[in-house]
Amino acid sequence: MLSLIAYEPKSGAKQVEDLTSISDLLSSPDTILWLDALDPSKQELALLAEEFGLHPLAMETYLSPHPRPRVDEYGEYIFLAAHTVGYNPDDLEVRLLELDLFVGKRYIVTLHKDELSFLSMITKRWMTNQELFAEGTGMLLYDVLDSLVDSYFPVLDEMNIRLDEIEDQIFEKGAEAPITQIFHLKRGLVLMRQVAAPLRDAVNTLIRRDQTLLSQRDITYLRDVYDHTLRIVDVLDTYRDILTSALDAYLTVISNQQNVVMKQLTVAATVLMSVGLIAGIYGMNFVVMPEIHWRFGYPYALGLMAVVSGVLLYYFKRVKWL
C-alpha cells in the first residue's frame, strides 16, 4: 500500500492518489513529498525508482533485507536502513522490523514490510500540524528516527519486568526453573544489540559526515537520537550482564541444592551402614557369642543401634549437615 503526502506552502499538505505525478510535483521548488510504502510490489518499487530516480542497488537492499542498519550516500539523496523491534511478552520472542528510508532535499520515502504504528502516529501529527513540513525533510527524518529509537524503550521496560521476575524465581523455593526464560531473554537482548549498535553508528555517520542534505539544525536534533541509541546499547549491555549473573546464580543455587541432597543421602547412608554393621555382627552364626544366649541381648542390640544412630545424627547436626 502506497501513501503519498505532498506539501506546498500555499495549499498545505494533502494526500495524492496519482503516483505518476511524483516527478511533476518534484519539479516545483517548494514542494515537500513523503511517500510511505507498506509491503510494495516489484511494480510499485519500479515506479518509485523511476519517479524519484533511486539507485537500483538501494532498491535491491529493500528486496533483500539487510540484517544490520546502514547508511549510504547516493549524491542527491541518502539511503538509511534501520530496525525497530517487536516483542511478545508471552513467549519472550523478539522480532526485528526493518524500515528503509530514502531522504532527498525535498522528499522522503519510507519502505517497510510490516505495519509500524509509530509511522501512523507521525502521519497524523504532521497532517494536524502542517507547518512542520516547512521545516524540511531533515526534521521529518529526525521525527521518524526518534520514534523508531523510542520504540525500543517499551520493549526494554517489559524485559526489565521479566528480569525482576526471574531473579525472584531463582531464590524462591519450589519455583519453576527459569532457565528457559533466561535463554529466551538473552537471545532477544543479543538480537536487539545486533541492530542497536549499528544503528548508533549509522546515526553517528549522519551527524558527522559533511553533506548538504541536512542542515546544522537537523544535525543538532539527530544528536538527540544518537544519545538515545547510546542509552539503548548501554541498557542492553547492562541487561545482558544481569542475565549472565542470574544464570550464574541459578546454577549456583542448583549446585547448592544438589550438595544438600548429597549431604542428606550421606547422613542416611552412614546411619544405615552403622546400624547394618551392628545387625550384621549379631547376625553371625557362631556358637560362642556371649550375647546370643543373653536374656537382654535383643534389647541391647536395638539400644546400641539407637545410641549409635543418635550419636551420628548429633554429630551431623553439629557440622550442619542436617
pLDDT at position 227, please? 92
Sorted by where each starts, the structural domains of the chain and their CATH numbers stand as 2-254 (3.30.460.20), 258-318 (1.20.58.340)
pLDDT at position 231, please? 92
- Which tens digits make up the pLDDT trace of 7-52? 777 777 677 777 777 777 777 777 888 888 888 878 887 877 777 7
pLDDT at position 176, please? 61
Rounded Cα–Cα distance for residues 109 and 69 (Å) = 16
Do the Cβ atoms of 66 and 99 come closer than 8 Å? Answer: no
b/e burial code for range 219-245 (CB count within 10 A of at least 16 → b): bebbeebbebbebbbebbeebbebbee
Helix (H) or strand (E) holding 249: helix 216-282
Distance spanning both ends of the chain, measured CA to CA: 70
Note every long-range contact of 198-201, with CB atoms under 8 Å and residues 24 or more positions apart, other chains counting.
198/68, 198/69, 198/70, 199/69, 199/82, 199/83, 199/149, 199/229, 200/226, 200/229, 200/230, 200/232, 200/233, 201/69
The CA-based angle 129-133-134, given to 5 degrees, is 110
- Which tens digits make up the pLDDT trace of 119-128? 888 888 877 8
8 strand-pairing partners: 12
pLDDT at position 132, please? 78
Cross-sheet strand order for the sheet of 12-16: 12-16, 2-8, 32-38, 107-112, 93-104, 77-88, 70-73
Do the Cβ atoms of 32 and 133 come closer than 8 Å? Answer: yes
Cell of 304: 546400641
Q: Which of 263, 273, 262 is nearest to 316 (CA)?
A: 263
Q: Would you put residue 230 in left (φ > 0), alpha (ψ -120 to 50) or beta?
A: alpha
Which ranges of the chain have pLDDT less than 50? none
109 strand-pairing partners: 35, 102
In this structure, the chain runs to a length of 322
* Strand 32-38 relative to strand 70-73, pairing: unpaired
- Sign of the torsion angle spanned by Cα atoms 166, 171, 175, 176: positive
Rounded Cα–Cα distance for residues 74 and 101 (Å) = 13
10 Å Cβ neighbour count for 82? 23
